[in-house]
Every structure is written in structure tokens, then in C-alpha cells.
Amino acid sequence: MTLPTLLTGRLRLRAWTEGDAGAFHELWGDPRVIWWGHTATPEASLRKLAEVLARCATMPEGLGWWAVEARDTRRVVGNIVLQPASYDDTTELGYHLARDGWGRGYATEAARAALCHGFSTLRLPVVSAVVHVDNHASHRVAARVGLRASGPITYNGMPHVLYELSREEALALDGAASAAT
């Protein structure tokens, strides 16, 4: 499995490595970020990172988990996921930002780069996301990147909204954006 590095104006998305234990714990060990089940100790985060890397190694080419770095500081500010969805046969998009990275547009910028990679390079037919009904910041990110709410879904035993975006819809959005500029 090879995960390409993706660049945006402010961000660099690159594969997580075993050497990222500290940065991964800053993110995954924070209950404000991983509110559904953070890893409370550095050791638990290390185990989670190893599990993630092992899972990524089994994914189709080009899918996986990216550490999101700010290009100016090289600091890891978040995580982006494109992986086979557990709830249907689409590819799931996920985004998680360190608490001090919220409110800067990083999640939207990084998610757009992952979607562009998914549709243009991997030619995925559909990308989806599941957002807890009360996760308003995440609903806003989903809407900003063009995902369309397609109905309720129970995920992790909790009420979520399923979002979807097909390749055709993404191309139409891109066309509209180009025409507007």
C-alpha cells in the first residue's frame, strides 16, 4: 500500500509512521477530539497507531490515514482518513483536528485534497461520511466540501447522518467552481 503525499496551500498530508507516536497521542489522546473513545495513555495511543498502520497496509492502493501537517511549522495538526467504509460499499472520508487547529479551515482544506485524490487519481465512484447528529462543526465541513446528506444511520450505536458524494457530482461541483472563477 502506498499513500501519496498531498499538498494544499497551507497543509501537507502524508502517511503516518511509527515515529509519529507523540503527535498521534496529542490527537488521539484528547477526549475533546476523539470524543467517542480517546486513547487515555501514550501507550494506548501507540497501540492504536500500530493497529492503524497495520490496517492501512491491507487497504487498496491510495487509501489510508494521513497525518496533516501545517506546511509553515511542520507540526501535525490533524488526521485525514480515506478507507473502505464499514457500513456500506463506499469509501469513507474522516477528519480530525487537534483542538488548537479548529476554526482555521484546515479540515475543509485537507478534506478537499483527499476528495480530489479519491475522485481524480483513484477514480472512486462514491465517497461517504458519517456524522453524529449533534456534531455541528463536522456537518459544516461535510457541507462545505460538497457532501450531500442522504439519510440517518446508526453508527457506533449512536444516531448519525450519512453523507455521500459521487464522482459525477464532484465533477459537476468542480465545473461550477471553475465557471464561477
Q: Which residues bind ligand COA (CB under 6 A)?
A: 33, 95-97, 102-108, 131, 135, 137-138, 140-141
- β-partners of residue 65 are 81
Which CB, 108 or 166, lies closer to ligand COA? 108
Closest separation in Å from C-beta 148 to ligand COA: 15
Closest separation in Å from C-beta 153 to ligand COA: 12
Do strands 6-7 and 91-97 pair parallel, antiparallel, or not at all (unpaired)?
unpaired
Closest separation in Å from C-beta 26 to ligand COA: 12
CB under 8 Å to 147, separation ≥6 — which residues? 93, 127, 128, 129, 163, 164, 165
What's the rounded Cα separation, in Å, for the pair 177 and 139? 21
Which CB, 47 or 99, lies closer to ligand COA? 99
Which CB, 1 or 83, lies closer to ligand COA? 83
Closest separation in Å from C-beta 149 to ligand COA: 13
How many Cβ atoms sit within 10 Å of the Cβ of residue 158? 12
**Residue number of the CB atom closest to ligand COA:** 105
CB–CB of 11/116 below 8 Å? no
Do strands 126-132 and 91-97 pair parallel, antiparallel, or not at all (unpaired)?
parallel
Which CB, 15 or 34, lies closer to ligand COA? 34
